[in-house]
Amino acid sequence: MPNLVRFTGRLALATAAVVGLAGLFLVLVVLTDGALSGLAAWATAVGAGIAAALWRGRRRRWPGRSRALLPVLVAAALTGSVCVPSVPMERRYPPDLPFVATQRWSLATGSRVAVYHYPPAPGVVRQPTPLVYLHGGPVRGISVLDHRFLRLLARRGHDVYAYEQAGGGRSDLLPMDQYTISRSVRDLAAFLDRLGRGPADVLGFSAGAVVLTRALATPDVAARVHRAIIAEPGPMDGPTARISGHQGRPSARDLAPAMTGPRSTSIPRYAVALGLMRLGLLPPGTGLIGQAEGVNAFRAADLGSDTASAYCARDAHRIPVEDTAENFSFSAAASLQVQQTIKDSPSIAPRLGRSRTPAMLMIAECSSQVRQWATVILVGDPAVQRTQYMPGVGHRMWNGLDDNDERAAAVITAFLRGRPAPLRNYPTRADIPAFLRDHR
């Protein structure tokens, strides 16, 4: 029994030493901003551990003194795994899609973006105004699910263009400090100029809807927009981002089966880096992992319940695969950087109140977005002509299920062609108090 007690005590001390050194390492990673891929923190923590172990065993003889170093070696191995990349550190871009050509345009802002063009289908009436799609993310690739919807719009006569925002998909990376919401708006203006077709219709979804909303509040950019469709917007500025309102009808979050497939967060290096960034303890431009490495490592399964939250609860067990592994691309660090610049930005309400670009707002029944993110736009933008409350869908309104794509396309097409809306105009500005009170 005495031997067992002695062994248990030594094991507990060794475990505490390992945990303590690991904790010290994490603190040092934060303090050093992950310098040298975490090696600065690792060397300091291991050096401190060795010094402490030698001091603690200074009265022992060898090899007894060496046993005090075992917890340090274990901690060094565990923390050292955070410093070793397991994916390429140079950006590996997704291969081109088989059904659409990838063009690469250099914009006047300095961004080089991947562009996709879906011309109107033969035999249908061609719409004279091009339609530009701004995807969500904010810094990610355009999913295959989105590409299918863009093709549907082209089959209805729209001349559709889409580009992946700088740093996302097949577009070139930017220096981390250049990922700002203002840069995204300038890129939109530069893209429309490069398109050279005059004012264009613009469909912005989620984070893309934020870019579009801020473009409408910027007169020289708004002049390039013919009609605007704001679909499921995120917060448009700092004051809006601080609103803690309710969401729509129940989503599939916590109801859908867990996403399967490889995860970067199962690897210590990326679990630590992404976790500390999400907690705000490391900046997006941390020295722990490079931007390209982070994009290469991130996988669709890392999104976890975020994907399920974009669908209605009734669809929890039939959520479609939104993208292929080859096409999926998401920059968590750059996305956090853009979102932070939105949170830090002053109110755009005074400028949005002067907008004159005809606009339509699309809101999903089971939206995971805070409702006030959409209603502040409805209140603040006098040029919003109609609102379409889309029943039976979540944040991902076009999702390939049932007739959801066709219904979304009908709403968009009707507005762009100046035809009566397929759904009633709801909520109107007068409906907002009841809309929020009833948790619609």
* 181 shares its domain with 44: no
Show the domain range for 424.
103-249+338-437
212 with 107, same domain?
A: yes
Q: What is the C-alpha end-to-end distance of the chain, expressed in Å?
A: 66
Asked if residue 156 is part of any domain, the answer here is: yes
Bridge partners (DSSP) listed for residue 298: none
pLDDT tens readout for residues 259-311: 888 899 899 999 999 999 999 999 999 999 999 999 999 999 999 889 999 99
Q: Are residues 74 and 179 in the same domain?
A: no
User: How does pLDDT run across 65-117, given as a tens digit for each residue?
Assistant: 667 788 889 999 999 999 999 999 999 999 999 999 999 999 999 999 999 99
288 domain residue, yes or no: no
Q: What is the CATH number of the domain that holds 161?
A: 3.40.50.1820
Confidence of residue 169 (pLDDT cuts 50, 70, 90): very high
* pLDDT for 261: 87
191-201 tens-digit pLDDT: 999 999 999 99
Residues 76, 48, single domain; the answer is: yes
134 and 11, same domain (yes or no): no
The CA-based angle 276-286-112, given to 5 degrees, is 120
Whether the pLDDT of residue 146 is over 70: the answer is yes
381: number of CA atoms within 13 Å, CB side? 32
The pLDDT of residue 36:
93
Give the count of beta carbons closer than 10 Å to the beta carbon of residue 337: 25
Residues 42 and 115 in one domain: no
Looking at the structure, tell me whether residues 215 and 73 fall in a common domain: no
Residue reference for tokens 């669908």: 311
Neighbours of 106 (CB within 10 A): 12
If 0-12 CB within 10 Å is exposed, 13-18 middle and 19+ buried, where does residue 295 land?
buried
Instruction: Spell out a b/e string for 161-181, using b for 16 or more CB atoms within 10 Å of the CB, else e.
Output: bbbbbbbbbbbbbbebebbbb
Same domain, 64 and 131: no
Looking at residue 2, its pLDDT comes to 61
Q: DSSP assignment, residue 49?
A: H
Q: Which of 197, 198, 231, 97 is nearest to 151 (CA)?
A: 97
Q: Are residues 57 and 149 in the same domain?
A: no
Structure confidence at residue 14 (pLDDT): 75
230 in any annotated domain = yes
The DSSP H or E segment spanning 361 is strand 359-366
User: Which of 264, 218, 261 lies closest to 356, judged by CA?
Assistant: 218
How many domains, in total, are found in the chain?
2
Instruction: Report residue 119's pLDDT band, with 50, 70 and 90 as the boundaries.
Output: very high
Average pLDDT for 247-254: 92
Any domain includes 143 = yes
The reported pLDDT for the residue numbered 245 is 82
Match 């707002």 to its residue by tokens.
361
For residue 114, the model assigns a pLDDT of: 98
Whether the predicted pLDDT of 62 surpasses 70: no
Judge whether 328 lies within some domain: no
Residue 385: band (very low, low, confident or very high) from pLDDT cuts 50, 70, 90:
very high
Q: Which segments within 55-196 are labelled E, that is strand?
A: 103-106, 112-118, 131-134, 160-163
Higher pLDDT, 169 or 63: 169
State the pTM of this model: 0.93
Q: Is 115 helix (H, G, I), strand (E, B) or coil?
A: strand
Asked whether residue 3 carries a pLDDT value surpassing 70, the answer given is no
Same domain as 151, residue 49: no
Residue 245 shares a structural domain with residue 349: yes
Is 360 in the same domain as 221? Answer: yes
What is the average pLDDT across 322-347?
A: 96
Q: Is residue 415's pLDDT more than 80? A: yes
Rounded to whole angstroms, the Cα distance separating 376 from 165 reads: 25
* Cα(367)–Cα(311) distance, integer angstroms: 8
